[in-house]
Amino acid sequence: MTDREQEILALLRQDPMIPQQELATQLGISRSALASHVSSLTRQGFVMGRGYVLREGPYAVVVGGANMDICGQSQGALRMGDSNPGSVRTSAGGVGRNIAENLARLGTDTRLVTAVGNDQHGHQLLEVSQQAGVDVRQTLVLDGKTTSCYLSLHDGLGEMSCAINAMGIIDELTPARLSPLGGFLAAANVLVLDTNLATGTLDWLFDRHGEQVLFVDTVSVAKVEKIRPWLGRIHTLKPNRSEAEQLCGFAIAGPDTWPRAAHWFHSAGVQRLFLSLGEQGIFYSDGETQGHLPILGCPVSNVTGGGDAFMAGLVHGWLAGSDMAQSTRFALGCAALTVGCHETVFSGLSKAAVERVLEEYPC
């Protein structure tokens, strides 16, 4: 599917009855060009008839944060308390939103449930997500609320020195607002949650949908405690070393401690663990199969977003029926492509792109 066809599908999911001329105008193309794209989508089976009836099939739902990323990077060493020459970039971000965009770019039918304000940043987040193929029909757009913003400062090597997040709007994603989506959530093949969600919202999701396949991104040490009562309902967990230590209560250092940590999480009920060890790579375990893979030796431009791409790769791998080692390797390829670009999400991400980088940098 081409990028233009993905844009068309995103708009059709919002309004399957949209007139063809209006659709062409929104896209800035001629009606005849649109007809050609729609014909292609029909041949591929994505559009099934009059009124743009769309094919429904397996889909993933991501419930989590969405925000505008404002990233400042100095030309050299970052001098705190002083003005630093450098560059400033804005891009669509948020753990949940990033995972959703990466997953859609990999070819998965992906739906995003989050909350944004009825403001410029909110509209931009929705537009960027839709253009990437993410279905945002269930996202809350709230009047009088400010879209989340994440401000980060990086040194000349791309390493983050500090950040400020203003993400209060995510607390508006309450059980009362999610309850009408119960059937929609229950029909998903996989639910992906991030711990930016309020504790009460996570409790409701685990309680109501804990029998489904749940992937959880732990986000940070401060937020990981929210999932402690619900570890037994998590299918796939992706913590980094510090987040895992916060939960298990002991230091995770050399390779001899990795299986011990996995045993603790499996005893708590987690089915699959992917432990991020920074430069040491990934240790994975499902209780029967364990292994370790190093990170790929690709150039690094910006580490922000690498973990989100990794999680998307894990979801894609599971939906494709890949085993633990295959899923980990594919996810590492997704992360490598992402940290190698300056943006939070690599716009060129695709299954084919990941396969190419894995051939170039074998694990």
The CA distance from 263 to 140, in Å, is: 39
Of 116, 115, 67, 113, whose CA–CA distance to 94 is shortest? 67
Helix (H) or strand (E) holding 287: none
Single pTM value for the model: 0.81
What is the DSSP-derived secondary structure letter of residue 115?
Answer: E
* DSSP three-state, residue 362: coil
Give the model's pLDDT for residue 152.
85
- Rounded to 5 degrees, what are φ and ψ at 235? -75, -50
Give 238's Cβ-side CA count (13 Å radius): 28
The pLDDT > 90 percentage for the chain reads 67
**Tens of pLDDT, residues 79-108:** 989 999 999 988 899 999 999 999 999 999
The CA distance from 118 to 197, in Å, is: 20
Give 98's Cβ-side CA count (13 Å radius): 27
The pLDDT > 70 percentage for the chain reads 96
**Alpha helix ranges (H) inside the chain:** 3-14, 20-27, 31-44, 95-105, 120-131, 175-178, 182-186, 199-209, 221-224, 241-248, 258-267, 306-319, 324-339, 351-360
Q: What is the mean pLDDT of each run of 10 residues along the chain (363 residues)?
A: 82 78 89 85 68 70 94 90 92 95 96 96 94 93 94 85 89 94 89 97 97 96 97 98 98 96 98 95 96 86 85 97 96 94 88 93 71
Q: Tell me, what amino acid is at 173?
A: L
**Tens of pLDDT, residues 303-356:** 778 999 999 999 999 999 999 999 999 999 999 999 888 788 999 999 999 999
Q: Tell me, what amino acid is at 231?
A: L
Give the model's pLDDT for residue 354.
95
Torsion sign, CA atoms 344, 142, 123, 184: positive
The CA distance from 123 to 335, in Å, is: 27
Give the model's pLDDT for residue 269.
98
What DSSP string describes 47-83? Answer: B-STTTPBP----EEEES--EEEEEEEESSS--TTS-
Radius of gyration of the chain (CA): 20
The CA distance from 194 to 207, in Å, is: 16
Whether the Cβ atoms of residue 41 and residue 5 lie closer than 8 Å to each other: yes
